[in-house]
Protein backbone atom coordinates (compact mmCIF):
# COMPACT_ATOMS: atom_id res chain seq x y z
CA UNK A 1 0.00 0.00 0.00
CA UNK A 2 1.48 3.38 -0.91
CA UNK A 3 2.45 5.52 2.06
CA UNK A 4 -0.10 8.24 1.26
CA UNK A 5 -2.96 5.74 1.32
CA UNK A 6 -1.60 4.19 4.50
CA UNK A 7 -1.54 7.62 6.13
CA UNK A 8 -5.10 8.32 5.00
CA UNK A 9 -6.31 5.08 6.59
CA UNK A 10 -4.40 5.90 9.77
CA UNK A 11 -6.18 9.23 10.01
CA UNK A 12 -9.49 7.43 9.72
CA UNK A 13 -8.53 5.24 12.65
CA UNK A 14 -7.51 8.14 14.84
CA UNK A 15 -4.21 9.68 15.73
CA UNK A 16 -1.57 7.00 16.12
CA UNK A 17 1.57 7.15 18.17
CA UNK A 18 3.74 4.48 16.59
CA UNK A 19 1.10 1.81 15.92
CA UNK A 20 -0.23 0.92 12.43
CA UNK A 21 -3.96 0.57 13.15
CA UNK A 22 -5.00 1.57 9.66
CA UNK A 23 -5.70 -2.00 8.51
CA UNK A 24 -8.12 -2.88 11.31
CA UNK A 25 -10.02 0.39 11.34
CA UNK A 26 -9.99 1.47 7.70
CA UNK A 27 -13.67 0.66 7.14
CA UNK A 28 -15.20 2.05 10.34
CA UNK A 29 -12.73 4.60 11.68
CA UNK A 30 -12.39 2.58 14.90
CA UNK A 31 -11.73 -0.92 16.12
CA UNK A 32 -12.52 -2.71 19.35
CA UNK A 33 -10.00 -4.68 21.36
CA UNK A 34 -11.31 -7.14 23.93
CA UNK A 35 -9.87 -6.82 27.44
CA UNK A 36 -9.12 -10.22 28.94
CA UNK A 37 -10.36 -10.83 32.48
CA UNK A 38 -6.81 -12.01 33.21
CA UNK A 39 -5.33 -8.62 32.36
CA UNK A 40 -4.78 -6.40 35.40
CA UNK A 41 -6.85 -3.24 35.57
CA UNK A 42 -4.54 -0.23 35.95
CA UNK A 43 -5.39 1.80 39.03
CA UNK A 44 -4.27 5.41 39.15
CA UNK A 45 -5.38 8.13 41.49
CA UNK A 46 -6.44 10.98 39.22
CA UNK A 47 -7.23 14.62 39.71
CA UNK A 48 -9.26 16.66 37.26
CA UNK A 49 -8.61 20.25 36.18
CA UNK A 50 -10.71 21.52 39.10
CA UNK A 51 -8.69 19.51 41.64
CA UNK A 52 -11.42 16.91 42.22
CA UNK A 53 -9.97 13.43 42.89
CA UNK A 54 -11.02 10.53 40.64
CA UNK A 55 -10.37 6.81 40.93
CA UNK A 56 -11.90 3.71 39.41
CA UNK A 57 -12.64 2.36 42.88
CA UNK A 58 -14.68 5.48 43.70
CA UNK A 59 -16.66 5.07 40.48
CA UNK A 60 -17.69 1.47 41.22
CA UNK A 61 -21.45 1.10 40.79
CA UNK A 62 -21.43 3.23 37.63
CA UNK A 63 -20.31 2.36 34.11
CA UNK A 64 -17.17 4.30 33.14
CA UNK A 65 -15.67 5.51 29.88
CA UNK A 66 -12.04 6.62 30.07
CA UNK A 67 -11.37 8.61 26.91
CA UNK A 68 -7.67 9.18 26.10
CA UNK A 69 -7.27 12.24 23.90
CA UNK A 70 -5.14 15.26 22.99
CA UNK A 71 -5.96 18.72 21.65
CA UNK A 72 -3.62 18.19 18.66
CA UNK A 73 -5.64 15.14 17.57
CA UNK A 74 -8.39 16.11 15.11
CA UNK A 75 -10.42 12.87 15.56
CA UNK A 76 -10.22 13.42 19.34
CA UNK A 77 -11.66 16.90 19.02
CA UNK A 78 -14.34 15.69 16.60
CA UNK A 79 -15.42 12.95 19.03
CA UNK A 80 -15.78 15.21 22.09
CA UNK A 81 -19.31 16.53 21.38
CA UNK A 82 -20.73 12.99 21.20
CA UNK A 83 -18.96 12.06 24.46
CA UNK A 84 -20.37 15.20 26.06
CA UNK A 85 -23.89 14.35 24.84
CA UNK A 86 -23.54 10.76 26.05
CA UNK A 87 -22.39 11.88 29.49
CA UNK A 88 -25.37 14.24 29.78
CA UNK A 89 -27.88 11.66 28.52
CA UNK A 90 -26.62 8.85 30.81
CA UNK A 91 -25.61 11.01 33.80
CA UNK A 92 -27.45 8.79 36.27
CA UNK A 93 -25.48 5.63 35.40
CA UNK A 94 -22.32 6.58 33.48
CA UNK A 95 -19.14 8.54 34.20
CA UNK A 96 -17.13 9.81 31.25
CA UNK A 97 -13.62 10.96 32.13
CA UNK A 98 -11.42 12.62 29.49
CA UNK A 99 -7.74 11.81 30.04
CA UNK A 100 -5.44 14.23 28.23
CA UNK A 101 -2.05 13.03 27.04
CA UNK A 102 0.99 15.08 28.08
CA UNK A 103 -0.34 18.57 27.44
CA UNK A 104 0.08 21.55 29.68
CA UNK A 105 -2.71 22.60 32.04
CA UNK A 106 -2.91 25.87 30.06
CA UNK A 107 -3.43 24.09 26.71
CA UNK A 108 -6.12 21.91 28.24
CA UNK A 109 -7.84 24.90 29.86
CA UNK A 110 -7.84 26.80 26.53
CA UNK A 111 -9.45 23.82 24.79
CA UNK A 112 -12.06 23.36 27.54
CA UNK A 113 -12.95 27.07 27.48
CA UNK A 114 -13.05 27.31 23.68
CA UNK A 115 -15.28 24.24 23.29
CA UNK A 116 -17.42 24.52 26.40
CA UNK A 117 -16.41 20.99 27.36
CA UNK A 118 -18.02 19.97 30.64
CA UNK A 119 -16.52 16.50 31.04
CA UNK A 120 -14.05 16.04 33.88
CA UNK A 121 -10.57 16.31 32.35
CA UNK A 122 -7.64 14.49 33.92
CA UNK A 123 -4.08 15.22 32.81
CA UNK A 124 -1.76 12.29 32.09
CA UNK A 125 1.35 14.45 32.40
CA UNK A 126 3.96 11.78 31.63
CA UNK A 127 1.77 9.33 29.68
CA UNK A 128 1.92 6.74 32.49
CA UNK A 129 -1.81 6.03 32.44
CA UNK A 130 -1.85 5.65 28.67
CA UNK A 131 1.09 3.23 28.81
CA UNK A 132 -0.51 1.18 31.60
CA UNK A 133 -3.70 0.82 29.55
CA UNK A 134 -1.74 0.04 26.36
CA UNK A 135 -3.02 3.18 24.61
CA UNK A 136 -1.07 4.11 21.48
CA UNK A 137 -3.85 5.44 19.27
CA UNK A 138 -5.82 8.62 19.97
CA UNK A 139 -8.60 8.80 20.69
CA UNK A 140 -8.98 5.52 22.57
CA UNK A 141 -11.79 4.81 25.00
CA UNK A 142 -11.75 2.20 27.76
CA UNK A 143 -15.18 0.71 28.50
CA UNK A 144 -15.74 -0.39 32.11
CA UNK A 145 -18.98 -1.77 33.54
CA UNK A 146 -20.50 -0.85 36.90
CA UNK A 147 -18.74 -3.77 38.65
CA UNK A 148 -15.32 -2.44 37.61
CA UNK A 149 -14.80 -5.04 34.87
CA UNK A 150 -13.05 -3.73 31.77
CA UNK A 151 -14.88 -4.90 28.64
CA UNK A 152 -12.83 -3.44 25.82
CA UNK A 153 -10.81 -0.58 24.41
CA UNK A 154 -12.18 1.30 21.41
CA UNK A 155 -9.32 2.65 19.27
CA UNK A 156 -10.24 5.55 17.01
CA UNK A 157 -13.08 8.05 16.88
CA UNK A 158 -16.71 7.05 17.18
CA UNK A 159 -20.10 8.76 17.31
CA UNK A 160 -21.10 7.68 20.81
CA UNK A 161 -24.67 8.85 20.22
CA UNK A 162 -25.07 6.59 17.15
CA UNK A 163 -25.92 2.90 16.76
CA UNK A 164 -22.31 1.70 17.08
CA UNK A 165 -21.93 3.59 20.34
CA UNK A 166 -25.18 2.09 21.66
CA UNK A 167 -24.02 -1.41 20.70
CA UNK A 168 -20.72 -0.97 22.53
CA UNK A 169 -22.34 0.56 25.62
CA UNK A 170 -25.16 -1.99 26.04
CA UNK A 171 -23.02 -4.62 27.85
CA UNK A 172 -21.88 -1.99 30.36
CA UNK A 173 -25.45 -1.41 31.47
CA UNK A 174 -26.63 -5.05 31.39
CA UNK A 175 -25.71 -5.68 35.03
CA UNK A 176 -27.54 -2.53 36.13
CA UNK A 177 -30.75 -3.68 34.39
CA UNK A 178 -30.59 -7.11 36.03
CA UNK A 179 -30.14 -5.66 39.54
CA UNK A 180 -33.07 -3.23 39.11
CA UNK A 181 -35.58 -6.05 38.52
* Per-residue pLDDT tens over the stretch 146-168: 999 999 999 999 999 899 999 99
**CB within 8 Å of 124: residues ≥ 6 apart:** 68, 99, 100, 101, 102, 130
- Residues 67, 80, 96, 151, Cα dihedral to 10°: -50
Written out in words, the top-level CATH class of the domain with range 31-180 is alpha beta
* pLDDT at 81 > cutoff 90: yes
96 vs 5, 12, 103, 161, CA distance in Å? 33, 23, 19, 13
Q: 61-71 pLDDT, tens per residue?
A: 999 999 999 99
User: Where in the chain are the domains?
Assistant: 31-180
With bands split at pLDDT 50, 70 and 90, how would you rate the model's confidence at 180? low
Please state whether the predicted TM-score (pTM) of the whole model is above 0.85: no
Q: Residue 176: what pLDDT?
A: 57
Say if CB 121 and CB 47 are below 8 A apart.
no
Angle of helix 74-89 relative to helix 105-115, nearest 10 degrees, comes to: 60
Phi and psi for 176 in degrees, rounded to 5?
Answer: -65, -40
Amino acid sequence: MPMSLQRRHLLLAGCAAGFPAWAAAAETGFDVQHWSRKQPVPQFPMQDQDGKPWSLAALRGRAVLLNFWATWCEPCRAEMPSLQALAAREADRLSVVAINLKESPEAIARFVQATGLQLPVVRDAQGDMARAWGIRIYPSTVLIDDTGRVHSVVRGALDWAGPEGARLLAPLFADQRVRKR
